[in-house]
Each structure stands twice: as structure tokens, then as C-alpha cells.
Amino acid sequence: MTRSVHNKILRVNLTLGTLQTEEPGEAYYRRYMGGWNMVAEVLLREVPRGADPLGPDNRFIYTAGLLAGLPVSGASRSAVGAKSPLTGGFGVGEMGGFAGAELKRAGWDAVIVEGCSQTPVYLWIKDGHAELRDATELWGLNTKETMEAIQTELGEPRARCLMIGPGGENMVRYACVMDGLKDAAGRAGLGAVLGSKKLKAIAVRGTQNLDGADPEKVRAMGRYMSDGVREGTKAGHMHQFGTGADLVGMVHTGNLPTRNFRDGDMDLDQALELSSADFLGKIGTGMEGCYACAVRCKKVVKVEGKYANDPDYGGPEYETIGAVGPCCGVGDIEAVSLASQLCNAYGIDSIGAGVNIALAMEAFEQGLLTTEDTGGRELRFGDADTMIDLLTKIAHREGIGDLLAEGPGVMAERLGGDAWRYAMHVKNQAFPMHEPRFKRALALGYSVSPTGADHMHSLHDAGLQNPDANGFLANASLRAMGLLDPVPLESLGADKVRLHRYHTTDRALQNCLLMCNFVPWTIAERVELVNAATGWDVSAVELFKVGERALNLARVFNLREGLTAADDHLPERSYGPTTNGALADGGVDREELQEAVHLFYAMMGWDPETGAPTEGTLEELSIGWAARHLP
């Protein structure tokens, strides 16, 4: 094996308190790489059909990226996965930070956790050694308190912690897993899985230097990207402002979800205040980045006064800003910054929390919730204090927070009435802060995503109508896959479906390699990096098959667990217009979307009606074994 792959997976049985090492072999890593594929492979082979996501039969998988620990920008992400307690299907989340690189530097590629502990524990990994330690005194602590207590106990101030807060302990259905205090695997409720297993944290420290099979090539490519970022030719404004630089422009296009995706009239002064290009000059104290990454896209803010915050938790990224800000009608950046801190401290997904709070606010307007339900508090759009108070209640499942700690689909069922019409979710996972009524490819992407509504592996099609100087599609990454023709923004026809099919496969690949979407490595450069790191001879075709494998295994798992083609649709509100603004005349055409969904199935080599991968498709991808898991 080469330096970037150790051929070592740590298996932890919490019920028995045992640890052992598995060595799956080089072919395993070349076929699956890591991330999505490793998660799906373990879930299909080891988790019984119909298993309780919060029971001992579920598996929690933590996998570092194939390139993690190398001096390369955007290459040290990691992934966590399990059967999702939110969707009941394939659950995975990716995050930046440092723990993935630390795991590889400690001599491991991944950790698989099974069973449940009777008492709280944490896992300590250092340089090839691993042990379970008592975490009774850590239970109930927020993430900063947890990290500091572990580092002090171990005498390892540089130990990195993958951990949960009270949200995970109380099994909030969208509890997240934190890598330190700023980086979250936010979707799918994977923090709740750790809470059910009473595994408070995985602490990691590694001192092995990683340089890859071709160290000179790895270093040269690392310098190439760093130089491009410094010179301003790579990563655009991400280095300067991070995400969410221009919310005013998003208001004008209708792409800023406002008051539970209902309205289109966010006040422009508030939108400006919430834009990072504006607020970083007022409350920003600097920008930080992930392991060995030159982009440094992570904001750090400092607020004094009523909404005073702790800058150790960083600052709000766009998804957080949109979810607890405009989606809840809140336009105060200082309140939004405190809300961002609370989500990180409690370990809850800021998207899920914001969308559920917005749903509760609209339900209160409609009379489906009253002050008797809320402990005397009126839930009104624009009330920042109420939004902040509800975050604490959600994390501890206190009062109305117990209802809001469920997914939006379940929450709507319990509210009754017509709440189902404005519960913004797919497969019980809350909508991200991007509007499919504006970006039509997202309508397809949200619908067919294996994890429920997700913006990271779906196609954002604004700008794909623009040609380059030669009349071809201006998007270079799609053009490199042979997609040459510009496509109208409003299209949901075969041209748009084809773009999405290629794009989402490429994003699935990146979620197996665990490379960052914000660092613009080309397809050809990714091939070079993988070969330089591993000593293999992979091609772009082989890597594309890795992405296809991931989408197919995830689809098989979802079908096995009872999700069907009937679940591949948008919430009712998306089929109509907003009350005003740029999208007041539009909505996604229901029949057109369903045609696109079934055409996507066919393009993937799945049954055009059911969306089930065919035996031929699975065999072509060298995963014919997965066919026996189809219903």
C-alpha cells in the first residue's frame, strides 16, 4: 500500500467494548475510494433491513478522504454516515476541518462503530493506538466544553475532536457531528446516531507526515493551487468573503428564501446587512481555513452587546444566514451570528433548525400553534429573540422544542391542518437555502437526492444559459465532460436532465474522494492528484465510475429501506409562486418535473418507472452483489 492509503479500518463494538483492525485490501479502496461509497457499502452489507436508526444495529462510519493529510488545498475533508434517523434512508454528511487529516496522520483510513454503550464514552486514537474512555462527565456539555475537557484530560492540546453536543445527546433528528467548533456534517441527523450509541466524541492525534507516492508531484500541485488563490485566479471571492457575499442580488432573482419560502420581499437594507461583503467589514475579525487549504473561506466574527458571541465558533456561512435569517424573517446579522454559534455549540443543523422554526412561525400565523403550545410565546416572523430561544429549546427538546426537534415532514403531520402544504422538505430533510423555482435543476436535484433535499450534490443552473467565446457552454467543468450546449434557465427538459446527471455523478465522486467544491480542481487535475497520492494509474473514466457506484449503492439502500419513486418530489409550495417578488409569476411545473425525474432514472440505467437500478447497471459497475438488496 502507498502512503496516502493505510489499508487500516478501525472497528469499534460499543456493546462489547472491543476494538479491532480490518485490512480490506487495495482493490477495495480503488473501487470505493471512501466517503459515500464506503458508507453505502457498510450499510448495505451490515445493517439489517428495517433496522432502527437509533438502535444498536445501525452503523456509524467515519471516513477520511483519499488525499487527506497531504499538503493540498481542499483535499482533507471527511465524511460520516449511517442509516439516517431523519429520512430513514441513506445518511451521509461531509465536513471540512482538521480531524480527517489527523486520522490519516494517525495511521487509519476510517472508523466503523457498531452497537451501543451503556454509559457515555469517547474514542481516543493516536498514532496507531485506539481506546475507549469514560465520557460520563462530558455528557451534557456543549462542543467547546467537550473539546477543552478532552484535550485537558489527555494532555493533548492539539488533539482534534469529532463530537456531538446536547442536540445529539437528545437525539434531535437533525443533530449534526462537529469537527471542532466551526465545521459540521450537518445533514441527515448523524449526531443523533452518536447520541443513541452514547459515543460523545472521537478524539484524534497523528504525528505521521504524509507525502504520497510521488511527493514532488503532490507538493507541486499544492503550490499550483495556493499560488492561484493568492494571485486571485482561483476560488474567486471565496478567499475574501466566503459564502453569502451578495444577498441583495439573491433578492432580485428570487433565490433568497424568505419567510418559509413563501414571500419574495426581503428588505434590501436587511439583505445588505446579512451579506458577508458588508458585515465582515463591521464585525469580522479574520478568515480561517481547513487543513492545508489556501482558500481560507471561513469567517470569524465578534459581536458585543445584546447578541454577544464567542468568536471561537467562527461565523455564519450562507446556509446558516439564510435559514435563521430571511427564512425566519430575521434581518439582524448580530442575532444571526449568535444563532450560528448556538447551532455549533449545541450540535444541530442550522438549516434544519431554521426551516423548522420558520414552519412553526407560519403555523402560528395560521392558528395551528397557539401560546398554549409555545409556553406563552408568540412565534412571529422577524422576531430574532424568539428564533434564538427556540434553538435552545430544540437542542434540549424542551416544551415546543420537542416538536421542532423532529423533521419538517413529521412536524407537519403532528401540526395537522394544511401544514403539509408549507413544510419545506424532501424525504423529511429540510430545504437548503436555494430556490428550485429559480434554479430549475435544483427541482430535479432535490427530488432525486438520496439524502433528501441537498444543495451540495445538486446542479445550480444559473448561468448555464451563457455561451463561451466559441458558443459552447460557459461552465468549464461541465464542458470537460462533453456537455457543450448552453441550456435555458427555465428548462427541465432532456438537456437539463443530462446536465444534472453528469454533474451529480461528478459531485458524488468528490464526496468519495472528499474534495471541496470550493477549490476548483479540474477533472484532469483530480486524476493527477489521485495517481500522485496513491501510485495508481486511474483515469477520468475510472473516477467517474466511482461516482456512479456511489449513486447506485445509495439508491439501492433507500429502496431496500422502503423509499420509492413516490418520494422523489418537491413540497407542495414549490409548485406555486411566491406571494411577491421575482418568483410571483412562477412555480415548478409538477408534470414537467415528474417527466424529468423518470428521464433521470433512465439516463442512470435505472428502471424508468420505479428508479430501481437494473441488474445490468450494477454488474457494469462491479457491484452486482448489491442486486440482492433490492426489494
Shortest CA distance to 297 belongs to which of 341, 246, 232, 238? 238
Confidence of residue 233 (pLDDT cuts 50, 70, 90): confident
Percent of the chain with pLDDT over 90: 97
Average pLDDT over residues 427-455: 98
b/e code 223-236 from CB counts within 10 Å (16+ = b): eebbebbeeeebbe
Q: Taking residues 465-473, what's their average pLDDT?
A: 94
What confidence tens digit (pLDDT) does each residue in 203-229 have? 999 999 999 999 999 999 999 999 999
- Please tell me whether residue 112 adopts helix, strand or coil conformation: strand
Question: Does residue 2 carry a pLDDT above 80?
Answer: no
pLDDT tens, position by position, 44-94? 999 999 999 999 999 999 999 999 999 999 999 999 999 999 999 999 999
Q: pLDDT digits over 480-522, tens only?
A: 999 999 999 999 999 999 999 999 999 999 999 999 999 999 9
pLDDT at 531: 97
pLDDT at 1: 42
What confidence tier does 532 reach under pLDDT thresholds 50, 70, 90? very high
Asked whether residue 348 carries a pLDDT value surpassing 70, the answer given is yes
Give the model's pLDDT for residue 235. Answer: 84
Rounded CA separation 556/544 (Å): 19
- CA-to-CA distance for 52 and 115, rounded, in angstroms? 12
Tell me the whole-structure pTM to 2 decimals. Answer: 0.98
* Short-list 594, 192, 601, 607, CA closest to 428: 192
Q: Which residue has the cell 481516543?
A: 124
CA distance 490 to 493: 9
CA-to-CA dists, residue 398 to 402, 404, 458, angstroms: 6, 10, 35
